[in-house]
Amino acid sequence: MKYTTLVLFLSLLVPCAFGKDKDKEPAILNLQGEISDSQCAFNVHSLDRTHDAMIGKGDFGNDSKSCTRTCVKKMGGLYVLIVKDQVYRLDDQIQPEQFAGKKVKLSGTMLDAKTQTLHVLSIEALR
């Protein structure tokens, strides 16, 4: 009885230690990386996870921006954020288009940790 009362008392004091707090706001992540496309980022048609090989073929443009846009518009790719060797899927596919191939600071919340999907709050170009 005393143990149950203690656990109940502690769970009232520290609810996150004993279960999920459903009313808690998700943490905002501030990440810096490059807006790319899922085709190149996940090696769908790029062997080295970069635009270099695709640009070398000549069919995908002459820079990261044109390669990213080509892969999204013509190859079925989606805009993603690459941070070092981590690739984040983005729930918003409108905002990232203007930053295709550019280094950015992205603020967002994690929608799905398993698929690394971010809810995009804001994107701004790095200088």
Three-class DSSP category at 3: helix
Report the pLDDT value the prediction gives residue 109, as an integer from 0 to 100: 98
pTM: 0.77
Q: For 58-84, what is each residue's pLDDT tens digit?
A: 777 889 999 999 999 998 999 999 999
The backbone torsions φ and ψ at residue 56, rounded to the nearest 5 degrees and listed phi first, read: -60, -30
Domain boundaries, the chain: 20-125
Report the pLDDT value the prediction gives residue 4, as an integer from 0 to 100: 42
Three-class DSSP category at 45: coil
- Cα–Cα distances in Å, from 105 out to 58, 89, 98? 29, 15, 13
44 — pLDDT class (breaks 50, 70, 90):
confident
**Mean pLDDT value across residues 23-47:** 88
Question: What's the CA gap between 57 and 52, in Å, rounded?
Answer: 9
